[in-house]
């Protein structure tokens, strides 16, 4: 079955507490983010804490997923490079990009990782739709893509398209971590130091690059609305309450 045809809703069991919704202030160092995720995932898995979505921005860096090909790191000295346990290949994180770390207990929802990936894609697609941007999934490449009819056709004669959001997840005892990144207004030239997600035939874009002068806070509101449509209720949590 295609990811497009999967049932995207992944609501929790009745009586489950709302997902904590946390937005970090400033730029979060990547190693600190991973350490926080490890702690939170352990607590969620043991039933000691509600599920969590943590929105962050990182300083400029590259991460290498479990399928990363060393040849795709074109400029290894440009930014710090972090090996990470998430799925996928190389990606860039930096200011102007909204990273959402999604820590959910699939035992309370659906123990279906493929459906979870499709559900995250659907959150991004609905977020973009609320800003009149048509995001699309591709069955042969994970993430969300935007058609660019104003650009030259690809060598095979098909329409150009750019990636606007990436996904990379890890699951431990059915608790998810890592998540998604949505390009709001990052420096797109920083993607040139890698082959993003191992795909060289397509470009990378952002909301601002598409002509939408949106603020991160506005995107966060729309992202939360879309998340709740798919995954259920959330509740505010500030970083200093964690």
Q: Binding site annotation covers 90?
A: yes
Length of the chain: 242
**What is the rounded CA–CA span in Å between residue 110 and residue 116?**
8
Q: Binding site annotation covers 168?
A: yes
Our separate counts of H helices and E strands in the chain read 3, 12
Q: Binding site annotation covers 45?
A: no
Q: Binding site annotation covers 62?
A: no
Q: Binding site annotation covers 86?
A: yes
Sign of CA dihedral 50, 55, 58, 63: positive
Count Cα atoms within 13 angstroms, Cβ side, for 99: 29
| Residue whose token pair is 């997840």 | 169
Q: Binding site annotation covers 167?
A: yes
- Give the closest residue to 117 by CA, choosing from 96, 94, 88, 90: 88
Q: Binding site annotation covers 166?
A: yes
Catalytic, 45? Answer no
Q: Which residues contact 174 (CB under 8 A, 6 or more apart)?
A: 45, 105, 106, 107, 111
Q: Binding site annotation covers 24?
A: no
- Give the closest residue to 124 by CA, choosing from 206, 14, 39: 206
- Give the closest residue to 231 by CA, choosing from 59, 5, 21: 21
Q: How far apart are the first and last CA of the chain?
A: 39
Q: Binding site annotation covers 242?
A: no
Q: Which residues contact 108 (CB under 8 A, 6 or more apart)?
A: 12, 13, 16, 51
Catalytic residue, candidates 197, 204, 207, 219: 197
Q: Binding site annotation covers 122?
A: no
Q: Binding site annotation covers 202?
A: no
Q: Binding site annotation covers 91?
A: yes
Pick out the residues of the known binding site. Answer: 86-93, 166-168, 179-181
Pick out the residues of the known binding site for substrate. Answer: 86-93, 166-168, 179-181
Among all residues, which ones are annotated catalytic? Answer: 197
């Amino acid at each position: 079955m295609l990811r497009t045809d999967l049932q995207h809703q992944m609501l929790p069991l009745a009586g489950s507490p709302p997902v904590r919704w946390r937005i970090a202030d400033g730029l979060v160092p990547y190693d600190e983010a991973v350490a926080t995720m490890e702690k939170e995932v352990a607590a969620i898995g043991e039933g000691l804490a509600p599920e969590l979505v943590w929105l962050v921005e990182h300083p400029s860096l590259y991460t290498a997923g479990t399928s990363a090909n060393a040849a795709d790191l074109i400029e290894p000295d440009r930014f710090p490079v972090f090996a990470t346990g998430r799925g996928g290949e190389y990606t860039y994180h930096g200011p102007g990009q909204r990273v959402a770390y999604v820590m959910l207990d699939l035992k309370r929802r659906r123990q279906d990782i493929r459906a979870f990936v499709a559900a995250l894609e659907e959150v991004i697609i609905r977020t973009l739709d609320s800003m009149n941007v048509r995001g699309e999934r591709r069955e042969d490449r994970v993430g969300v893509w935007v058609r660019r009819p104003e650009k030259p056709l690809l060598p095979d004669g098909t329409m150009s398209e750019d990636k606007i959001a990436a996904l990379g997840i890890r699951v431990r005892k059915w608790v998810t971590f890592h998540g998604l990144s949505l390009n709001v207004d990052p420096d797109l030239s920083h993607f040139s130091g890698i082959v993003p997600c191992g795909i060289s035939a397509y470009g990378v874009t952002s909301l601002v690059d598409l002509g939408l002068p949106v603020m991160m806070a506005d995107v966060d509101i729309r992202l939360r609305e879309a998340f709740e449509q798919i995954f259920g209720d959330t509740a505010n949590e500030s970083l200093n309450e964690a």
